[in-house]
């Protein structure tokens, strides 16, 4: 009972935090989501024999407490926090249905999910799957009806999930640390940009370009991977960092490409001049002043996917984009699972664990590492193509070092080598970065301007200091850094670890445990 | 037939590579006829670029010392080191601001302010570097190398963010608007101010009539860097502590058995590296006159490249690498195309790591995985 | 147990609902929303904040209401920069535009600051109503009209997929600014100029325009070159420039860049190598006409820098403009030095006038198309800039530029110029 109350309070407050930032209809969405999570966590410790009905009833009390906490926070937000931040509270015709559906939705979905645990194993799994599918499909429609506009940010987060899945092959499966992953993202995006924009008057179909982007990214994975193969560990990391830094410089500066054949243009004339000969050769110019990437100006506008019935995807309608990216993720997950469980995947992991031993077992390390690099890069081609078409323009500054590190953060936080972990990591990191921090900033700014700063009016210095520092966006890098350092120190295997990585990372503890056992 | 290939393969590939460099190099500014033409046009400028390259290289070299020492001992790339240097710039700026040296014209006050800034910057950076080691690296010493490296990147982000917040504090960093922490902050040109207040020309070569510039700033930066390098070399070669450091670098377990306190030696390494970064911070501030939260990342990578170029773990090598990188950058800015300079620096990094990971002066060491 | 608990909690939930029902009181007036999308991070913050303040001030002067109190007008200042890039972020700008497109209460989008950002948001908003955009600061000509040698052949039509123009701006464009800067150089007696730019849409665009116009008035352009915006120093580049004019320095250096692209460092190294800004003049466009430049470079180094910006010198402003400056000082506790503040004031002014015009004609101001039409129909508006109109392309008809010179640590107006 105590544990249940604790769970209810945590979940209620957790949802409350989000609602606290967004207000309005977010109550409804969060209520349902929290309900599902709560049902799942209750399911972890129930007695299966109780049957679905009893489990559902049992969960109701927990759900009820959570719902009350949750709604209390929501109302507090609406009637105390929002006015203090200088905003009008939501109107009644929103408040009542939003909270009602949110609260009841939470209770209902908790009960529903909890009940699933009472079913036989196969049905339980099927039930959970259906629930997930329904939620994923329903999300953008709920988002649209409630006017929350989270879809755009979620789509962005999902782009990074694909990037995370790709990097996970390199870092998680093959154990090769890559600090320049954004380079492949850039290649995917620029391939799309160059092949379907007015920049070179090439307008290829998106459904074709996305595969070309994938192929180009994989090809560049091979090209950049080949010379780095004999390096191990940190030297490899630095080389990838170097390549990753070079890529935006190249894309930024390929704005006036002129290639002149050197022999005819200056080597032979130079030699001629040495011999005082006046015979001139004709200088062959291969490319003259080509603006390949448009530099910092960016390529714009880029072509977009087109489907019968739906028409061309528009930026103001996120729903087709959302389903496209979900499809891409499903495809990626499917492919990556097949790869992981196949011969190649086992070879990657063998090389990661102990390369020398793997070589002794007949694994070709060159082939293994190259495929990891190429396939890892290939998925970022997907992400790049989607990004270019979705944003409609690409600019070199997007693909710099911090992007590579954010993707690495996603993989490390979620759990290296674990696909579900990477998806969760991507949603947490990008959600925090794109949704939470800006919302928190707005909330704090409102509170500052209307409540706190006027109170400090007598002390101008203090007022300025407070105003400058109360901006959560200012601490963004700190959060990423802390994520990496704390995860490495406390839980290097990530939130959802893969069993092998965990064993590897805690190797010395286990040995010491064995030693202790032997001593005893 | 096969022996024919074996014999001519290498020269053919070499010619092909050279041809490709001639063909594609001009895109990134490596256009030999233009470079030669510019040098012929004004050979005097070559000397000028040499001076600029050496002075910039000196700052890179001092930071590179910090990378190379840490790598030599615990084989970890301390990514945060470049950012510690950035904190050094801000510490120096804030110290100068607090001591009133930014607004005075009295040369004695100015010199005292600069000395104070040097001491404070070195102390702050040294402590910061030791703290970083304690918090982020110590417990990972026996973990897989990837874990420590990821932790180092994380630490770098944290220190960068500290710099960003620092820069936003208008009571610490002189500013008259509210540009926030993101903007570059001015670091006044105090050395020239000292010279002017003593009625001297800041350009030491002004009286020679050669039209070259070699200012008091260039002199100070190059001299200070050389002194620090020689001092560090002496310390490592000739003192007890230096010997302990070398022993730890060679074999940590053996050193432990010899009664060396490993933790202490590593802490002292970070302490010295941080102190050097602090000194570099003041020098860079005085030389380039800018404090910016992001300045550590770029220079950090350049310094790391310098350390690798010279042979990582090798003090003299780091110094040499620093000067070479400075010269490369100045040469690229002056004769090639300023937009592509960083590409060349990174290209050196990548090519050295791939083809000669031991660097110019490094000895052949066993495979370090 | 659980059943009873369930009932208790259900009652509690419903009770709290009822409580909520008693707590609120509805408002009767409908809400119209106006948003701005400007970079509120980094060195650009100074300019953006001045624009936002001016817009807030204009709305407050209207009492936050329109059409005789029938509508509440709410203003939100959105940020299109991200900390990751330290400047405007394509993803954030796109998201802002999408968010605005999806919110039916938004009837005007005031922005952007960076012309590159406008390229992304114009097409999105063009297909959302179209929702009218009024920019206080974009100066790249191709967004509204073609200019020979400066814009792409398919501009500006590619930004308007629906065929209806929805973008207007109160800032005069770079093709005029280049001419102003060339005239300025002539009046300063400059014979040779070296142009550097940051390679961005705006920076390179204005540099190209100056290049074109300077050649036209007989000034020798030695070279135009892009610089690396993140380098630690530019001493080598400046050394190169210092001998580029037949072994000596040029008369002037023109920089086409926004201030957060390291302009302060370029200026510092220029002064270190080639001496103060009287010996070799340093001239820039509107994006360096800001206190952030002086803060980054230091007052003594920046002394003597010239910059031009669309609008009038404060001393040449008319009655409305003078009153605005006084009101700004009173409202925000300090005078503004940013020329863009005036443009910001008129941006909001144009939006509010359009709403009033729609109401006066008996239309519905929640209809985006009606508001767009009203904006493009603005003629002889009595704004802070003076009397101005929008032409059919959405360009302002007023082509005044103010030129400032840094004197004693701040930009002091040098005069107002026409192209």
Q: Note the pLDDT tens digit of each residue in B50-73.
A: 999 999 999 999 999 999 999 888
pLDDT score of B369: 33
The confidence band for B272, taking pLDDT boundaries of 50, 70 and 90, is very high
With CA atoms as reference, the chain B residue closest to C302 would be B186
Which residue blocks in chain B are alpha helix, DSSP H?
A: 2-24, 32-41, 43-74, 81-98, 107-132, 145-168, 190-197, 216-238, 240-250, 252-257, 262-288, 295-310, 315-335, 341-355
Quote the CA–CA distance of A397 and A189 in Å, as a whole number: 13
Residue A38 in this model has a pLDDT that exceeds 60 = yes
Instruction: Find the residue in C nearest to B341 (Cα).
Output: C228
Flag whether the ipTM exceeds 0.90.
no
- Among all chains, which residue has been given the structure tokens 């259906």? A130
CB C223 within 8 A of CB C194: yes
Say whether both A100 and A186 belong to one domain: no
Nearest to B326 by CA among B31, B60, B13: B60
Q: B interface mutation test: which of C235, C288, C300 has the most B CBs within 10 A?
A: C235
Q: Does A228 touch chain B (CB under 8 A)?
A: yes
Alpha helices in A77-120 (DSSP H): 82-84, 92-116
Query: Which 3 state secondary structure label does DSSP give C76?
Result: strand
Q: In B188-216, which positions are buried (b, 16+ CB within 10 angstroms) versus exposed (e)?
A: bbbbbbbbeeeeeebbbbeeeeeebbbbb
Residue B362 half-sphere exposure, CB side, CA atoms within 13 Å? Answer: 23
Q: Which residues of A touch B145 (CB under 8 A)?
A: 233-234
pLDDT band, very low/low/confident/very high, at B177 (cuts 50, 70, 90): low
Which residues in chain C show pLDDT less than 70?
1-29, 42-43, 83-84
Indicate the range of A162-171, A286-295, B274-283 predicted with least confidence.
Answer: A286-295
Tell me A448's DSSP state: I
B346/A249 Cβ within 8 A: yes
Identity of the residue in C41, C269, C295 whose CB atom sits nearest the CB atom of B182: C41
If phi over 0 gives left and psi between -120 and 50 gives alpha, with beta otherwise, what is residue C283?
beta
Tell me which chain B residue has its CA closest to the CA of residue C45.
B179
| Same domain, yes or no: A269 and A284 | yes
Mean pLDDT score, A108-125: 85
- A234 at the B interface (CB within 8 A)? yes
| Residue B367 clears pLDDT 70, i.e. is over it | no
The answer to whether residue B238 scores a pLDDT higher than 50 is: yes
Question: Is residue C380 within 8 Å of C387, Cβ to Cβ?
Answer: yes
Containing domain of residue A281, as a range?
258-290
Name the helix (H) or strand (E) containing C31.
Answer: strand C30-38
Q: What is the pLDDT of residue A6?
A: 82
Q: Is the pLDDT of residue B366 over 50?
A: no
pLDDT of residue B222: 92
Residue by residue, DSSP assigns A456-495 as TTT-HHHHHHHHHH--GGGGHHHHHHHHHHHHHHH-TT-S
Instruction: With CA atoms as reference, report the closest residue to C127 among A392, A323, A387, A156.
Output: A392
Q: Is A307 helix (H, G, I), strand (E, B) or coil?
A: strand
Q: Find all residues with CB under 8 Å of A18, minimum gap 6, and list them.
A: A26, A30, A436
**By the CB < 8 Å criterion, does A447 face chain B?**
no
Asked if C83 reaches chain A (Cβ–Cβ under 8 Å), the answer is: yes
A267 and A387 within one domain: no
Model pLDDT for residues A488-518, shown as the tens digit of each residue: 888 888 887 777 777 766 665 555 444 554 4
Q: What residues are paired with C82 via a beta bridge?
A: C87
Chain A's closest residue to C82, CA to CA, is A473
pLDDT for position A142: 87
Do A491 and A409 lie in one domain? The reply is no
pLDDT tens-digit series, residues A130-165: 998 999 999 999 888 887 888 888 998 999 999 999
Residues A223 and A307 in one domain: yes
Between CA C113 and CA C126 the distance in angstroms is: 18
Considering the domain architecture, whether residues A53 and A136 belong to the same structural domain is answered as: yes
Residues A249 and A387 in one domain: yes
Query: What's the rounded Cα separation, in Å, for the pair A240 and A302?
Result: 29
Check CB contact under 8 Å for C42 and B183.
yes
Helix (H) or strand (E) holding C405: strand C401-407
Give contacts of A91 with chain C, Cβ < 8 Å. Answer: 24, 26-27
Which residues 168-207 of C are in CB contact (within 8 Å) with A? 198-201, 204
Average pLDDT of chain A? 85
**Which is it for the CA torsion B218, B311, B31, C199, positive or negative?**
negative
Domain span holding position B237:
56-355
The pairing of strands A311-312 and B185-186 is: unpaired
At residue C11, the pLDDT reads 57
Residue A192 falls inside a structural domain: yes
What pLDDT sits at residue C20? 47
- A76 shares a domain with A48: yes
Residue reference for tokens 């665009």: C205
Within a 10 A sphere around the Cβ of A346, how many other Cβ atoms? 15
In this predicted structure, what is the pLDDT of residue A40?
81
Strands C252-256 and C281-284: parallel
Q: Evaluate if residue B197 carries a pLDDT over 60.
A: yes
Alpha-carbon distance values, C187 to C181, C183, C190, C281, C380 (Å):
10, 6, 8, 12, 32
CA distances from C256 to A464, C201, C259, C284 (A): 33, 10, 10, 6
- Domain assignment of residue B126, yes or no: yes
pLDDT of C333 reads 76
Mean pLDDT, to the nearest integer, of B340-366?
82
**Domain contains A420:** no
If you measure CA to CA, which chain C residue comes closest to B290? C265
Among candidate residues A148, A170, A191, the one where a domain is terminated:
A148
Q: Is residue B315's pLDDT more than 70?
A: yes
Q: Out of C6, C83, C204, name the one closest to residue A476 (CB).
A: C83
| Overall residue count recorded for chain A in this entry | 520
Same domain (yes/no): A321, A384: yes
Q: Do A373 and A318 share a domain, yes or no?
A: yes
Q: Cα separations (Å) of C17 from A14, A134, A449, B323, C14?
A: 20, 28, 30, 72, 5
Instruction: Considering only residues A255 and B61, tell me which one the structure prediction assigns the higher pLDDT.
Output: B61
Query: What's chain B's length in residues?
Result: 369
CATH number where B247 lies = 1.10.3470
DSSP string, A343-392: HHHHHHHHHHH-HHHHHHTT--HHHHHHHHHHHHHHHHHHHHHHHHHHHS
Instruction: Give the confidence band of A520 by pLDDT, cuts at 50, 70, 90.
Output: very low
Q: Are C9 and C16 in contact (CB under 8 A)?
A: no
Packing angle of the helix pair C263-274, C235-242 (nearest 10 deg):
50
DSSP for C162-182 reads: TSS--EEESSPPHHHHHHHHH
pLDDT tens-digit readout, C113-145: 988 899 999 999 998 889 999 999 998 999 999
**In the prediction, which pLDDT does C14 show?**
56
Number of domains comprising chain A? 4
Question: What is the C-alpha separation between C223 and C314, in angstroms, rounded?
Answer: 34
**Residue B357 and residue B311: Cα distance in Å, rounded?**
8
Q: If you compute the radius of gyration of chain A from its CA atoms, what whole number of angstroms results?
A: 27
**Which stretch of DSSP H or E encloses residue A34?**
helix A26-43
Global pTM? 0.89
Range from A293-297, B278-282, C167-171 carrying the lowest mean pLDDT: A293-297
The alpha carbon of residue C92 is apart from the nearest alpha carbon of chain A, in Å, by 9
Contact (CB, 8 A) for C209 and C240: no
Smallest Cα–Cα separation from A211: which of A381, A390, A391?
A: A381
- pLDDT for the residue numbered A238: 86
Is the Cβ of C50 closer than 8 Å to some Cβ of chain B?
no
- Check residue B1 and give its pLDDT: 57
- C107 phi, psi to nearest 5 deg: -120, -5
Q: Cα–Cα distance between B181 and A471 in angstroms, integer?
A: 11
Distance of CA B81 to the CA centre of its chain: 9
The pLDDT score that the predictor gives to residue A45 is 65
The two three-digit tokens of residue C298, written as one number = 């230091």
What are A301-345's pLDDT values in tens digits? 888 899 888 888 887 788 999 999 999 999 999 999 999 999 999
Q: Which residue has better confidence, B358 or A387?
A: A387
Residue C362, Cβ neighbours under 10 Å: how many? 6
* CB nearest A242 (choices: B153, B180, B346): B346
Domain endpoint, select from A413, A447, A481: A413
pLDDT, tens digit (0-9, with 9 covering 90-100), for A272-284: 888 877 766 778 8
In this structure, of A14-23, A39-48, B12-21, the range with the lowest mean pLDDT score is: A39-48
Residue A427 lies in a domain: no
Total domains, chain B: 1
Structure tokens at B192: 């020239």
The pLDDT value recorded for residue C168 is 95
- Measure in Å the smallest separation between the Cα of C119 and chain B Cα atoms: 25
Q: How confident is the model at residue B89 (pLDDT cuts 50, 70, 90)?
A: very high
Could you tell me the two tokens for B66?
């910090």
Q: How many CB atoms lie within 10 A of CB B226?
A: 14
Given a contact as 3+ CB pairs under 8 Å, which chains touch B? A, C
Q: Domains in chain C, please, with CATH?
A: 30-172+317-388 (3.40.50.2300), 174-310+403-417 (3.40.50.2300)
Of C155, C245, C124, give the one whose Cα is nearest residue C195.
Answer: C245
Q: Which of C16, C106, C130, C150 has the most A C-beta neighbours within 10 Å, making it the best mutation to test the interface with A?
A: C16
Both A160 and A74 in one domain: the answer is: no
In a domain, B9, yes or no: no
Establish if B155 belongs to a structural domain: yes
The answer to whether residue A385 scores a pLDDT higher than 80 is: yes
Q: Are residues A128 and A166 in the same domain?
A: no
Cα A408 to Cα A416: distance, rounded to the nearest angstrom = 9
How many other C-beta atoms are found inside a 10 Å radius of the C-beta of residue A268?
A: 15
Taking an 8 Å cut-off on Cβ atoms, the answer to whether C243 and B290 are in contact is no
Q: What distance in Å separates residue B220's CA from the closest CA in chain C?
A: 16
Give domain status of residue B27, yes or no: no
> Which residues on neighbouring strands pair with residue C167, listed in sequence order?
C133
Dihedral sign for Cα A117, A121, A123, A129, please: positive
Angle at CA A130, nearest 5°, toward A125 and A131? 95
Q: What are the chain C neighbours of A61 within 8 Å (beta carbons)?
A: 1-2, 5-6, 9
pLDDT value, residue C410: 85
What pLDDT digit, counting tens, does each position of A410-469 carry?
998 888 888 989 998 998 888 888 888 888 888 888 888 787 777 877 777 777 777 777
d(CA C401, CA C398): 9
Residue C239's CB is within 10 A of a number of other CB atoms, namely 24
For the ranges A47-56, B76-85, C98-107, which has the lowest average pLDDT?
A47-56
Which of chain C's residues have a Cβ under 8 Å away from the Cβ of A314?
127
Residues of chain B contacting residue C268, judged by C-beta atoms under 8 Å apart:
186, 189, 288-290
């Amino acid at each position: 009972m105590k544990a249940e109350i604790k769970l209810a309070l945590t979940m209620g407050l957790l949802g409350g935090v989000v609602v606290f930032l967004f207000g309005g209809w977010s109550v409804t969405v969060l209520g349902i989501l929290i309900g599902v999570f709560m049902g799942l966590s209750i399911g972890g410790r129930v007695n299966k024999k109780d049957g679905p009905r009893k489990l559902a009833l049992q969960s109701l009390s927990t759900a009820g407490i959570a719902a009350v906490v949750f709604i209390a926070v929501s109302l507090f937000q609406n009637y105390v926090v929002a006015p203090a931040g200088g905003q009008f509270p939501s109107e009644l015709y929103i408040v009542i249905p939003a909270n009602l559906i949110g609260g009841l939705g939470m209770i209902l979905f908790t009960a529903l999910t909890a009940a699933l645990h009472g079913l036989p194993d196969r049905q339980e799994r099927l039930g959970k799957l259906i629930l997930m599918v329904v939620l994923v499909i329903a999300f953008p429609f709920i988002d649209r009806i409630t006017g929350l506009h989270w879809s755009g940010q979620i789509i962005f987060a999902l782009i990074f999930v694909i990037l995370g899945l790709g990097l996970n092959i390199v870092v998680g499966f093959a154990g090769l640390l890559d600090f320049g992953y954004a380079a492949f993202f850039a290649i995917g995006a620029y391939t799309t940009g160059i092949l379907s924009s007015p920049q070179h008057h090439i307008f290829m179909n998106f459904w074709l370009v996305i595969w070309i982007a994938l192929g180009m990214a994989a090809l560049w994975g091979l090209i950049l991977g080949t010379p780095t193969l004999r390096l191990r560990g940190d030297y490899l990391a630095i080389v990838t960092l170097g390549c990753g830094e070079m890529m935006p410089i190249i894309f930024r500066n390929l704005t006036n490409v002129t290639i002149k054949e050197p022999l005819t243009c200056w080597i032979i004339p130079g030699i001629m001049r040495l011999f005082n000969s006046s015979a001139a050769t004709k200088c062959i110019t291969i490319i003259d002043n080509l603006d390949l990437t448009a530099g910092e100006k960016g390529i714009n506008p880029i072509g977009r996917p087109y489907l019968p019935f739906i028409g061309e995807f528009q930026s103001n309608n996120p729903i087709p984009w959302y389903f496209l990216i979900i499809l891409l993720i499903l495809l990626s997950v499917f492919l990556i699972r097949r790869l992981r469980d196949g011969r190649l995947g086992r070879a990657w992991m063998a090389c990661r664990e102990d390369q020398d031993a793997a070589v002794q077992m007949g694994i070709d390390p060159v082939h293994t590492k190259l495929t990891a690099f190429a396939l890892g890069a290939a998925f970022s081609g997907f992400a790049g193509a989607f990004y270019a078409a979705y944003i409609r323009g690409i600019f070199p500054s997007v693909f710099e070092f911090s992007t590579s590190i954010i993707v690495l953060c996603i993989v490390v936080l979620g759990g290296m080598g674990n696909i579900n972990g990477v998806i969760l990591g991507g949603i947490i990191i990008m959600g925090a970065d794109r949704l939470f921090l800006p919302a928190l900033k707005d909330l704090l700014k409102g509170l500052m301007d209307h409540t706190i700063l006027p109170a400090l009016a007598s002390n101008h210095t203090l007022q300025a200091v407070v105003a400058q520092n109360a901006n959560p966006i200012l601490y963004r890098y700190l959060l990423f850094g802390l994520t990496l350092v704390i995860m490495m120190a406390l839980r290097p295997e990530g939130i959802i670890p893969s069993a092998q990585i965990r064993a590897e990372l805690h190797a010395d503890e286990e040995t010491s445990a064995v030693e202790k056992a032997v001593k005893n | 037939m096969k022996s024919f290939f074996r014999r001519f393969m290498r020269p053919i590939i070499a010619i092909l590579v050279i041809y490709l460099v001639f063909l594609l190099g001009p895109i990134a500014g490596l256009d030999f006829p233009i470079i030669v033409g510019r040098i012929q046009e004004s050979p005097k400028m070559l000397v000028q670029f040499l001076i600029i390259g050496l002075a910039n290289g000196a700052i890179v070299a001092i930071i590179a010392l910090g990378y190379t020492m840490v790598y030599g001992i615990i084989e970890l790339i301390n990514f945060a080191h470049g950012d510690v240097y950035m904190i050094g710039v801000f510490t120096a700026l804030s110290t100068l601001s607090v001591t009133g040296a930014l607004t005075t014209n009295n040369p004695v006050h100015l010199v005292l302010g600069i000395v104070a800034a040097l001491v404070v910057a070195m102390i702050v950076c040294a402590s910061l570097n030791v703290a970083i080691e304690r918090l982020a690296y110590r417990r990972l010493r026996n973990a897989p190398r990837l874990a420590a490296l990821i932790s180092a990147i994380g630490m770098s982000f944290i220190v960068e963010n500290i710099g960003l917040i620092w820069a936003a504090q208008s009571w610490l960093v002189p500013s008259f608007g509210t540009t926030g922490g993101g903007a570059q902050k001015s670091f006044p040109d105090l050395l020239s101010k000292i010279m002017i207040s003593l009625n001297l020309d800041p350009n030491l070569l002004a009286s020679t009539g050669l039209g070259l510039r070699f200012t008091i700033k260039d002199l100070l930066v190059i001299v200070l860097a050389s002194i620090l390098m020689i001092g560090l070399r002496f310390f490592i070669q000739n003192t007890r502590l230096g010997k302990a450091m070398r022993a730890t670098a060679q074999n940590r377990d053996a050193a432990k058995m010899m009664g060396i306190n490993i933790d202490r030696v590593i802490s002292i390494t970070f302490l010295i590296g941080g102190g050097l970064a602090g000194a570099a911070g003041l020098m860079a501030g005085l030389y380039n006159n800018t404090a910016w939260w992001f300045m550590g990342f770029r220079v950090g990578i350049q310094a790391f490249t310098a350390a690798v170029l010279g042979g990582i773990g090798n003090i003299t090598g780091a110094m040499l690498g620093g000067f070479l990188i400075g010269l490369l950058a100045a040469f690229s800015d002056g004769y090639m195309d300023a937009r592509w300079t960083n590409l060349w620096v990174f290209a050196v990094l990548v090519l050295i790591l791939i083809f000669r990971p031991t660097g110019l002066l490094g000895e052949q060491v066993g495979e370090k995985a | 147990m659980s059943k009873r608990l369930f009932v208790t909690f259900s009652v509690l939930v419903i009770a709290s609902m009822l409580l909520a029902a008693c707590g609120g009181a509805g408002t009767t007036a409908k809400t119209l929303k106006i948003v701005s999308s400007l970079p509120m991070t980094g060195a650009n913050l100074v300019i953006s904040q001045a624009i936002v303040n001016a817009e807030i001030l204009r709305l407050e002067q209207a009492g936050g209401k329109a059409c005789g109190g029938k509508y509440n007008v709410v203003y939100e200042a959105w940020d299109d920069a991200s900390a990751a890039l330290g400047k405007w972020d394509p993803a954030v700008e796109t998201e802002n535009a999408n968010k605005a497109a999806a919110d039916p209460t938004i009837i005007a989008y005031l922005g952007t600051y960076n012309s590159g950002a406008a390229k992304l948001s114009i097409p999105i908003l063009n297909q959302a109503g179209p929702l009218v955009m009024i920019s206080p600061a974009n100066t790249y000509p191709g967004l509204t009209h073609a200019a020979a040698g400066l814009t792409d052949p398919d501009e500006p039509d590619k930004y308007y997929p629906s065929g209806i123009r929805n973008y207007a701006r109160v800032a005069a464009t770079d093709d005029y600014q280049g001419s102003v800067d060339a005239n300025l150089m002539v009046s300063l007696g400059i014979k040779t100029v070296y142009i550097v730019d940051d390679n961005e849409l705006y920076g390179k665009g204005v540099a190209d325009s100056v290049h074109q116009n300077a050649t036209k008035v007989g000034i020798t352009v030695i070279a135009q070159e892009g610089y690396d915006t993140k380098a630690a120093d530019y001493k080598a580049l400046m050394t190169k420039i210092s001998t580029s004019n037949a072994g000596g320095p040029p008369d002037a250096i023109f920089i086409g860049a926004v201030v957060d692209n390291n302009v302060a460092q370029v200026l510092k190294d220029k002064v270190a190598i080639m001496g103060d800004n009287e010996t070799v003049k340093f001239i820039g466009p509107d994006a360096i006409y800001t206190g952030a430049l002086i803060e980054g470079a230091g007052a003594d180094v920046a002394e003597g820098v010239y910059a031009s910006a669309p609008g009038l010198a404060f001393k040449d402003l008319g009655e409305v403009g003078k009153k605005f400056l006084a009101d700004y000082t009173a409202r925000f506790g300090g005078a503004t030095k940013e020329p863009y503040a005036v443009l910001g004031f008129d941006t909001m002014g144009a939006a509010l006038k359009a709403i009033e015009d729609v109401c006066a004609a008996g239309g519905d101001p929640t209809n985006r198309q009606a508001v767009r039409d009203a904006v493009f129909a603005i003629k002889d508006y009595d704004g802070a800039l003076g009397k101005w109109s929008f032409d059919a392309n959405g360009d302002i008809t007023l082509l005044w530029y103010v030129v400032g010179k840094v004197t004693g640590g701040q930009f002091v107006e040098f005069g107002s110029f026409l192209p």
